[in-house]
Structure 1
């Protein structure tokens, strides 16, 4: 897409969707990034930024110049990354104030919609590598799905909002931003730090938010390089693992569960199932639209090449 005002707004809205999802327990920012087509840009861009900053810090003081750092920064698609990051921050704040209370009030219906969304999203990493799955791949995915299912079923803790714990919790929770299937808000909820963090955003608690931001930057800078390496060198197996994590994490979005994560007897089934179907249909339609658009672009490029010949 050309770098126009419309493309910047589009990327900001896509980033906003990712940011808003991080304020909602059970919804993974990485999953939304997959839906919106931002995932590769975010991982690649963040990875090059971390490498650039590292080389800038280590090379310049030693008199080696900043050429290698600049080379890393040039590989970042800033026209996508900057609007997306601005959208994330803005919509994250808005979601913390507006959407989070709604989800808390209508938890069953909200989780039903999100369950359908994430269920349909499994198709994206499942087919992302363009390779056939073997029996060993299904076993690996099943193992990670079981692990995610177990972790998302654990009852929440009640840790104090001590700065050290907030720093560590943020460094772990932020990894969910780039790891489809796991929700940063859900991790905070499990640790008992979700409400303090939401309240800090609403009350503009600068001290709390500064510690949280520092922990998030630390965790993200460490984890994103690992994920970038895995995607570049073990792409198919990484997507197999991500598929398993997303499948197992559906446990966190099961509509019929209480605050202690215990499974309940289904109630109000027609409306709840209908919302699941709506969520599934939204993502399915987005996938079909994106694939048709990609085919049209490939055909247009083919015709352009043929015309030149």
Structure 2
């Protein structure tokens, strides 16, 4: 999305490109790039406060992802019947841009399998470090996306403000403590995937709010298939419904939708603020009590935190440049 060479007009006229967009003929190098971007999306989604949708947006694959996901539905049966047999299956495969989705999902799965333990360890033992890194990443993302919004007006400024306020409210909600049942996990998965695909609102944070985050993360570690499959079923259900609305908005009101999404991302800075304590003033990786750097129990650690923020900003800027370059190729 950010890789568009020129702004799209906000017009209610239908967009033939979105409705009948041809599936790109990706070469192995491009598919490897999609896989790597999937790894980056998965790493972001593990952290409760950073959205994989933000990474997709910056990497220039967000619109393609929404178009691919929204094409999944009952109409695929008609696509299959037109050709039938192997040709019909291939037509369905092309219709949903399945090669792209497969590479992206493999990247996300790789990230969850290899990085979940590392990120959980950092969240538990070095929260200041990992939150500083992602804080810099999110700030850079906001500035990059603000530059993509052309012709600011009152409506777009209002949408940006709505997104920002909504994200701040969600990020400040109290966490639920409950023992989740399988139906509850199904619902949590459906809500989380909507947040996961929406830049700025973390799917992991929604799971955290609903008291399901630790259960899901533990299930991934222990390969508890009943929990994993239940959450995945909820995610698939939520995803297929939500992406259709996003596709419609992107096709008709691109700039306004971009302003709203950028507001969501800016509002998530409340959640990824590095200096956090609990009510007693001690370190707490899941607390939402943000404090001034000089009030942090172990000190501000300016050199370390600012260095990690700059690293996050540099990496997301490089990812944005890569997304622009890939879409121009």
Normalising by structure 1, we get a TM-score of 0.84
Unmatched segments (≥5 aa) in structure 1 = 298-309
Q: Distance in 1 between matches of 2:51 and 2:240?
A: 18
SS in 2 for 1:225: helix
Match of 2:300 among 260, 268, 277: 268
Distance (Å, rounded) in 2 between the aligned partners of 1:187 and 1:156: 9
* Offset, 1:161: 1.4
* Structure-2 residue corresponding to 1:100: 120
- The residue that corresponds to 2:81 in the other structure is 65
* SS of residue matched to 2:276: coil
1:146 corresponds in structure 2 to: 165
Rounded Cα–Cα distance in structure 1 between residues aligned with 2:27 and 2:233: 33
Distance 1:143 1:11, change over 3 A: closer
Cα deviation for residue 290 of structure 1 reads: 5.0
- 1:149 Cα offset (Å): 0.7
Q: 1:253 aligns with which of 237, 256, 272?
A: 272
Q: Please say if residues 111 and 254 of structure 1, whose CA atoms lie closer than 8 Å, have aligned partners that are also in contact.
A: yes
Give the Cα–Cα distance (whole angstroms) in 1 for the partners of residues 133 and 263 of structure 2: 20
Query: Counterpart of 2:233?
Result: 214
8 Å Cα contact 1:20-1:94 kept in structure 2: no
Three-state SS of the structure 2 residue aligned to 1:65 is helix
Q: Tell me the distance in 1 between the aligned counterparts of 2:243 and 2:322.
A: 29
Cα 1:296/1:67, change in 2 over 3 Å: closer
Matched with 1:162 is: 181
238-247 or 95-104, larger mean C-alpha shift: 95-104
Distance 2:240 2:328 in 1: 37
Shift of 1:38: 2.0
In 2, Cα distance between equivalents of 1:115 and 1:109: 10
Structure 2 residue aligned with 1:244: 263
Residue equivalent to 1:280: 313
CA distance in 1 between partners of 2:231 and 2:328 (Å): 44
Computed over aligned residues only, the root mean square deviation of the Cα atoms, in angstroms, reads 2.6
Worse overlay, 117-126 or 74-83: 74-83
Measure, in 2, the Cα distance between the counterparts of 1:44 and 1:123: 25
Residue 70 (structure 2) aligned to one of 47, 61, 68: 47
Distance 1:288 1:218, change over 3 A: closer
Given the two structures, how large is their TM-score scaled by the length of structure 2?
0.79
Alpha-carbon separation, structure 2, partners of 1:290 and 1:225: 23
| Residues 15 and 84 in structure 1, CA contact (< 8 A), matched pair in contact too | yes
SS in 2 for 1:98: helix
Counterpart contact for 2:60–2:327, Cα < 8 Å? no
Match status 1:195 vs 2:214: yes
Assess if the C-alpha contact under 8 Å between 1:125 and 1:242 holds in 2. Answer: no
21, 28, 41: which one pairs with 2:51? 28
CA deviation profile, 1:195-221 (whole Å, cap 9, x unmatched): 111000111111111111110110111
Q: Distance in 2 between matches of 1:173 and 1:251?
A: 19
Measured at CA, do residues 222 and 72 of structure 1 come closer, stay the same or move farther in structure 2, by a change above 3 Å?
same
Match of 2:28 in 1: 5
User: Where does residue 156 of structure 2 map in the other structure?
Assistant: 137
Determine the C-alpha separation between the residues in 2 that align with 1:285 and 1:207. Answer: 39
SS in 2 for 1:122: helix
DSSP-derived class of the 2:289 partner: coil
Please report how far the alpha carbon of residue 285 of structure 1 lies from its aligned counterpart in structure 2 after TM superposition.
3.8
Gaps of 5+ in 2: 1-23, 278-285, 294-298
Q: 1 or 2, which has the higher helix percentage?
A: 1
Report which stretch shifted further, 137-146 or 242-251.
137-146
